[in-house]
Structure 1
């Protein structure tokens, strides 16, 4: 699970309470979560901390690069619309839907799983999943991206698809045949367990292998207990200003010029470790 940890130290100096917060440490996966700190009531010569409710709220995380740094492949105008308006609206709407509910205070991962509700999504799901998906998408690309992966990632691509070029063709075909809005993913499938959700895609595929799959609207492989490694947003708002209805050109540029294979490789390392840890736990329980 994704964790956001924050430490704080409290000290009194002549009746003045000072709180110093250490910067949060984020896991490699996307998470946009912050807790409001308790209010402080101070009186002369003493320190009094008034107990207050801790309210959890999502915040909009910026992409890990400037909004014009993906040009000419994705324009500043596209990112201002996509991140600055569309992504922002999902964060705001999710905050309003979870405030005061059983979801308030939960991590983003847990909100996505809980609101997916075994394939019968609750109202906040589309917004929670879209926040998760967009955070993941922004981290999947970078200025001067593209090229080819190396190491373990390339080894598994060649094992599971036959070649890097065949994987790209399968990914591109999935992106072009996703009807309407949705996402396309490269994921690590490593679940032999019944995760209690709707029927998983690719049920006949072997475990512990790479797969390409597409999902409608806000759905992502995370809800099927797969480990997403790479995604492309094929909603029209992701590319229409730059490519109009030429989704094929957008997908080709994404794969050739934007993908951060270093990030994908890092995510694979995490996924493999996660699968190995679970296997050891299963052996202990059996």
Structure 2
């Protein structure tokens, strides 16, 4: 009687676990951007490691074990005690976002997306130069994002390490490189007590929303200063992505090659400007 129960339980386990998508179209590498070995390191090995760690952190936790990486990173962005789970979920999601917007060939930007981008950046060439320059200037690893606001405008946004661009996770957006950012340090017990008091308040769930503003409004669920944006494209500046193929000194060349391998159909779909299927992300 025991064996049938085990056999029936296994399929449920397999459906729940976070698994590595094969991305079969890149198995031979991404021409002009990543060799087969480069892709293996940046995707198969690194993404596999992130998901392995994430599974270990969520096993036995009920719904977390089957939640998408996006849902997990938003859920735990406000909880310092769950930083490890947030970091692995967010990094797995960001890395998949990066690879999901790549193509093995040069693609043509849909006209509707081009018009919107030109309205925000004056020209596509200006956007390209700003994107590459911003990513090249990042001292630490992270991502540079192209985001679309609720008003239909476009902007660039940076996140360091495993920071997230999503409004619900702006508590952990991590827009500054702490290797170069000076911050005051205090040992005042009163300040420490106030910090933990504010953290306790911030972590209290909001059961209902009232009005457009104030502590019980829908906006209170977002981080202070959080901007409601939709990420549609990103590039990774993590060293394990570009160094195996491009070395230490050719980060800018990697970024310029990346621009030529963007799948603009996927980007347009994410922006709501086309009928394509858009990025499909890790569970």
Deviation for aligned residue 1:241: 1.3
Partner residue in 2 for 1:122: 83
Deviations 1:216-246 (A, max 9, x none): 0111212345211111111010010111121
**Is the partner of 2:21 in helix, strand or coil?**
coil
Contact 1:187 1:229 in 2 (8 A): yes
Give the TM-score normalised by structure 2.
0.67
2:152 pairs with one of 208, 216, 221: 208
Unaligned runs of 5+ in 2: 171-227, 275-283
Partner residue in 1 for 2:71: 110
From the superposition, tell whether residues 208 and 57 of structure 1 become closer, same or farther in structure 2 (CA, over 3 Å): same
From the superposition, tell whether residues 189 and 70 of structure 1 become closer, same or farther in structure 2 (CA, over 3 Å): same
Partner residue in 2 for 1:144: 105
Partner residue in 2 for 1:281: none
Give the TM-score normalised by structure 1.
0.66
Partner residue in 1 for 2:113: 153
Over aligned residue pairs, what C-alpha RMSD do you find?
2.7
Deviations 1:256-281 (A, max 9, x none): x211111101111179xxxxxxxxxx
Which structure has more relative contact order (CA 8 Å, sep 6+)? It is: 2
Contact 2:54 2:88 in 1 (8 A): yes
1:83 pairs with one of 19, 31, 43: 43
Unaligned runs of 5+ in 1: 1-38, 42-48, 191-206, 272-286
Partner residue in 1 for 2:280: none
More helix by share: 2
Partner residue in 2 for 1:58: 18
Contact 2:30 2:39 in 1 (8 A): no
Check if 1:219 corresponds to 2:179. no
Contact 1:112 1:129 in 2 (8 A): yes
Deviations 1:150-178 (A, max 9, x none): 22210111111111111111111210121
Number of residue equivalences: 209
CA distance in structure 2 between the partners assigned to 1:209 and 1:128 by the alignment: 28
Deviations 1:20-72 (A, max 9, x none): xxxxxxxxxxxxxxxxxxx955xxxxxxx978995421001122513224134
More strand by share: 1
Partner residue in 2 for 1:238: 241
